């Protein structure tokens, strides 16, 4: 429940701090006194977007802070899910800075507005004329029925499973699209893959083939040059090796005359050894050389194939061609396996659909069971609220579509007059009737679920006299299990409260400010007397006020 509210620098409020208790709390005040300001401040700590125009002094920070006792609300799991520190006395604070930037805190932890809205929905329900219109909304009507049907666990399972079902359906649709695109490319990919596979690509082969081609294509010139080199090295008279041997012979006679001669001798000896080795290698190369036109043609064709493929795929090596071949093979395999993958996912979807149909059936049956009870309770309460001829017709039909809260299609119809035709609520109920229906529904819900603190903003619009007295009694009953606030202009309702606050304007230092004050028993008598007879309080109005309070 809301235990304390602090508002600083907001609208016509300079600074306000007020404490609240459980039970039924009444808030009264003249039109324009600032009751909407109070609601606006509360809305901010529930996650409503901030507006710099609502700040009283734009050069200062605006702060709205609410303290909530949540020990009985079973919200530890929610706090854990939202990654928040749980405190049985939880403090929510909103700040609007002079820059226009807004900040929100839960127990001094900075949070986003959507986090504030999630928690706020469990703490405070501000009932306004706008919320009354929820009565005509299917989702809200289902919430009423499901609360009585105790469908929470089934709906949680359904929401989780239907999320998976939709995700799976989207995945299957994506696979079908992928298959359609892949089939368009399959023939071309197979053609490209066949070309690359027939090329029998080997990593590093291009360089070897180019070398072999150059040799085979120039074999006569190579043989000629090797032969000439062979003769230059081995000619008996003028060959290099013969001359080196002669030089070595001459120098061998000088080695004993000094180290410098030994050094040059050693170098000539090394050169001779190297020349002999070169000669042997040239000789071997000559022996290996043999013209092979057939092999030259094979090598040439293979090179042409490789160069054509590299040009076609815009690459510069056979390594890149091999990578393309592997990628194409993977795409072809993936396309060929898509049917099996789709069939597997379709099977999973069908099993999940069977499970969802079963859950929907349970939810539907539970709803059907409680509808007569809901109708009976609604009509009974509304009869006490001056609507003795109010009748409801609630019809559920199962569809084959998975909707947000099951597969049911709901028809929630109303007739206000005896013998009248059933019609949509928004077409057949007036504003005052809708307010009474909403109060009846909130009362019924309070008996089946843990509602948060509720604030009724002039729910008594359009009613008076004995009916308002009955509405007050219903709010009193609700306040035994929860904290209830009601903003009212009717003395019959104001007199039923456990606590009474007055909103009023006051000029302080020539500045109009909104104030909120808890009334003493004596002040309360005067306030109710003024609600009965106007500002000039008569003795009869005072007596009437005392009677109402007693």
Nearest by Cα to 437 from 391, 497, 396: 391
Instruction: Name the β-bridge partners of 393.
Output: 413
User: Which of the four pLDDT bands, split at 50, 70 and 90, describes residue 238?
Assistant: low
- Domains parsed from the chain with CATH numbers: 1-123+452-519 (3.40.50.300), 163-175+337-354 (no CATH), 181-336 (no CATH), 521-550 (no CATH)
166-176 residue pLDDT tens: 999 999 998 88
pTM over 0.75: no
The mean pLDDT value of the chain amounts to 86
pLDDT tens for 285-319 read 777 777 777 877 777 788 888 888 888 888 888 88
Give the model confidence (pLDDT) of 37-91 as tens digits.
888 889 999 988 888 788 888 889 999 999 999 998 889 989 998 889 999 999 9
What are the beta bridge partners of residue 415? 391
pLDDT 10s digits, 458-475: 888 777 778 888 999 999
Distance CA 391, CA 417 (A): 8
Q: Residue 125: what pLDDT?
A: 87
Query: In degrees rounded to 5, what are phi and psi of residue 51?
Result: -135, 120
pLDDT at 110: 93
Q: What percent of the chain has pLDDT over 70?
A: 97
Start-end of H helices in 52-151? 76-81, 113-120, 129-132, 138-149
Residues whose CB falls within 8 Å of the CB of residue 508, separated by 6 or more in sequence, listed in order: 14
Between CA 16 and CA 509 the distance in angstroms is: 17
């Amino acid at each position: 429940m809301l235990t304390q509210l602090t508002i600083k620098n907001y609208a016509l409020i300079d600074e306000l701090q007020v404490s609240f208790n459980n039970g039924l709390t009444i808030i009264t005040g003249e039109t324009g006194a600032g009751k909407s300001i109070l609601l606006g401040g509360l809305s901010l700590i529930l996650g409503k977007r901030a507006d710099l125009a609502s700040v009283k002094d734009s050069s200062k920070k605006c702060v709205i802070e609410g303290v909530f006792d949540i020990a009985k609300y079973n919200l530890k799991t929610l706090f854990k899910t939202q990654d928040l520190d749980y405190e049985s006395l939880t403090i929510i604070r909103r700040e609007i800075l002079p820059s226009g930037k807004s900040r929100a805190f839960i127990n001094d932890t900075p949070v986003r507005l959507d986090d504030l809205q999630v928690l706020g929905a469990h703490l405070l329900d501000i009932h306004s004329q706008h919320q009354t219109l929820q009565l005509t909304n299917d989702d809200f009507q289902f919430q009423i029925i499901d609360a009585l049907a105790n469908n929470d666990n089934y709906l949680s399972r359904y929401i989780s499973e239907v999320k998976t079902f939709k995700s799976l359906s989207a995945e299957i649709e994506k696979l079908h699209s992928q298959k359609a695109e892949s089939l368009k490319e399959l023939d071309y990919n197979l053609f490209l893959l066949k070309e690359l596979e027939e090329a029998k690509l080997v990593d590093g082969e291009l360089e070897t083939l180019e070398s072999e081609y150059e040799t085979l294509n120039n074999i006569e010139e190579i043989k000629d040059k090797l032969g000439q080199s062979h003769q230059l090295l081995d000619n008996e008279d003028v060959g290099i090796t013969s001359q080196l041997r002669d030089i070595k012979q001459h120098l061998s006679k000088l080695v004993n005359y000094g180290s410098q001669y030994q050094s040059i001798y050693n170098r000539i000896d090394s050169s001779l050894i190297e020349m002999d080795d070169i000669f042997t290698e040239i000789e071997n190369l000559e022996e290996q050389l043999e013209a092979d036109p057939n092999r030259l043609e094979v090598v040439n064709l293979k090179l042409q194939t490789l160069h054509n493929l590299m040009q076609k795929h815009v690459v510069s090596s056979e390594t890149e061609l091999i990578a393309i071949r592997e990628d194409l093979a993977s795409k072809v395999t993936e396309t060929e396996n898509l049917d099996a993958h789709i069939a597997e996912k379709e099977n999973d979807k069908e099993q999940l659909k069977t499970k969802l149909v079963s859950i929907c059936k349970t939810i539907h049956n539970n709803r059907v069971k409680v509808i007569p009870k809901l109708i009976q309770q609604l009509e009974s309460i509304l009869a006490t609220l001056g609507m003795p001829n109010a009748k409801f017709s609630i019809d559920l039909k199962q569809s084959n579509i998975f909707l947000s809260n099951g597969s049911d299609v709901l028809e929630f119809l109303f007739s206000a007059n005896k013998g009248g035709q059933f019609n949509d609520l928004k077409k057949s109920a007036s504003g005052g009737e809708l307010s009474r229906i909403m109060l009846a529904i909130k009362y019924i819900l309070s008996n089946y679920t843990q509602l948060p603190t509720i604030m009724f903003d002039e729910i008594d619009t359009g009613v008076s006299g004995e009916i308002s007295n009955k509405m007050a009694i219903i709010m009193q009953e609700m306040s035994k299990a929860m904290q209830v606030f009601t903003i009212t202009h009717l003395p019959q309702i104001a007199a039923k409260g456990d606590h009474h606050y007055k909103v009023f304007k006051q000029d302080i230092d020539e500045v109009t400010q909104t104030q909120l004050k808890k009334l003493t028993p004596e002040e309360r008598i005067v306030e109710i007397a003024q609600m009965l007879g106007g500002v000039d309080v008569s003795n009869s109005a005072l007596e009437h006020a005392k009677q109402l309070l007693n």
